[in-house]
Amino acid sequence: EVLDKSIREVVRILEDAVGCTAGPKGLTVAISKPYGSPEITKDGYKVMKSIKPEEPLAAAIASIITQSASQCNDKVGDGTTTCSILTAKVIEEVSKAKAAGSDIVSIKNGILKAKEAVLTALMSMRREVEEDEIAQVATLSANGDKNIGSKIAQCVKEVGKDGVITVEESKGFKDLEVEKTDGMQFDRGYLSPYFVTNAEKMLVEFENPYIFLTEKKINLVQSILPILENVARSGRPLLIIAEDVEGEALSTLVLNKLRGGLQVAAVKAPGFGDRRKDMLGDIAVIVGAKYVVNDELAVKMEDIALSDLGTAKSVRITKDATTIIGSVDSSSESIASRTNQIKAQIENSSSDYDKEKLRERLAKLSGGVAVLK
């Protein structure tokens, strides 16, 4: 009975505070803060995160719903209001079924069957969105600002559905601009949160960094010490992309960062096996790196000079992904040559799976990055 009461209370708060933000005619909500003015938002996820019931059981239920919305936000970037309401309603219906005598295993199996039925129905109703519809959705997310909506639609048109869109702060007051540049995003985040440079957003943000690529694991800092010393003398940041960085090497890099030394971050290379090798090669082309260090290469880590490293205009790393924006030294000819090589591999491949993975690489390589600023 206490649990049912707590669930009903959380669902009521959700419907009142979060549910009202849903859809094109959603309302704005004012979130009070311990200091400063209230925050006005239409973002259901922000509203959900601000709900903190005093009663412990209700607080635990609200936390579960917030975690569900957080996963939706991380994977999709939208739909958190709908996700929050659906999660709350599922919890409410589970509580009712349990009270009516159903066992929890049967309830779980029923939920999974219902999920599959809903997903199948949704997949049968899906269709490709048109460019003007992208602008409409973007305008809605921008609180009705048609200029922002049209610029976001332009970004999508520039880089395609597999490309990357990022936002930069404008220099002074001016109209929004869209700039398409070489770049790539892959699903690997920083290896330690101590690398973070923007604590508020938990991001690593580097301007004009050097980029070192290797297929090998880095366990000992001694192997990369010459690279670290050379980059430190240049005064620029360093991004290390390797199979892994662990043990003494990782702890030394973290300690160096905490002491205010070289601005450095390390991420794991994307992919596995031969695909990791191919993707590192793609990144090397984009950033203009001369070498991807591996066991087959005559050049060792300690022999790598600054001129052998890749470079980029900027790098942005979250806990889940790395975005390289604006290669500096790589030419469009080298990227075109690499894309033509991948196209030839697609033509010659007899495996549908291999073709799919090659097309993914091609999209990442040719899509580039659209910068909205």
Task: Give the whole-angstrom CA distance, residue 4 versus residue 99.
Answer: 9
Range in 56-65, 103-112, 216-225, 319-328 the model is least confident about: 319-328
- pLDDT tops 50 at residue 329: no
Residue 1 confidence (pLDDT): 62
Residue 61 confidence (pLDDT): 85
Range in 145-154, 211-220, 299-308, 361-370 the model is least confident about: 361-370
Residue 172 confidence (pLDDT): 60
Range in 74-78, 103-107, 245-249, 331-335 the model is least confident about: 331-335
φ, ψ dihedrals at 120, nearest 5°: -60, -45
Please check whether residue 12 is in contact with residue 92, taking contact to mean a CB–CB distance below 8 angstroms: no
CA proximity to 294, closest of 207, 216, 359: 216
- pLDDT tops 90 at residue 2: no
Identify the bridge partners of residue 217 per DSSP, sorted by sequence position.
244
pTM: predicted TM-score of the whole model, two decimal places: 0.64
Task: Give the whole-angstrom CA distance, residue 129 versus residue 120.
Answer: 19
**Across 39-48, average pLDDT:** 82
3 state SS for the chain: CHHHHHHHHHHHHHHHHHHHHCCCCCCCEEECCCCCCCEEECCHHHHHHHCCCCCHHHHHHHHHHHHHHHHHHHHCCCCHHHHHHHHHHHHHHHHHHHHCCCCHHHHHHHHHHHHHHHHHHHHHHCCCCCHHHHHHHHHHHCCCCHHHHHHHHHHHHHHCCCCEEEECCCCCCCCCCEEEECEEEECCCECCHHHCCECCCCEEEEECCEEEEECCEECCHHHHHHHHHHHHHHCCCEEEEECEECHHHHHHHHHHHHCCCCCEEEEECCCCHHHHHHHHHHHHHHHCCCCCECCCCCCCHHHCCHHHCEEEEEEEECCCCEEEEEECCCCHHHHHHHHHHHHHHHHHCCCHHHHHHHHHHHHHHHHCEEEEC
DSSP strand pairing (369-372 vs 164-167): parallel
Residue 170 confidence (pLDDT): 67
Please check whether residue 291 is in contact with residue 299, taking contact to mean a CB–CB distance below 8 angstroms: yes
- pLDDT tops 60 at residue 300: yes
Q: Tell me the CA end-to-end span of the chain in Å, nearest whole number.
A: 53
pLDDT in tens, 334-353: 888 888 888 898 888 888 88
The neighbour count for residue 345, using CB atoms within 10 Å, is 16
Residue 353 confidence (pLDDT): 83
**Across 168-182, average pLDDT:** 69
pLDDT in tens, 244-265: 999 999 999 999 888 888 899 9
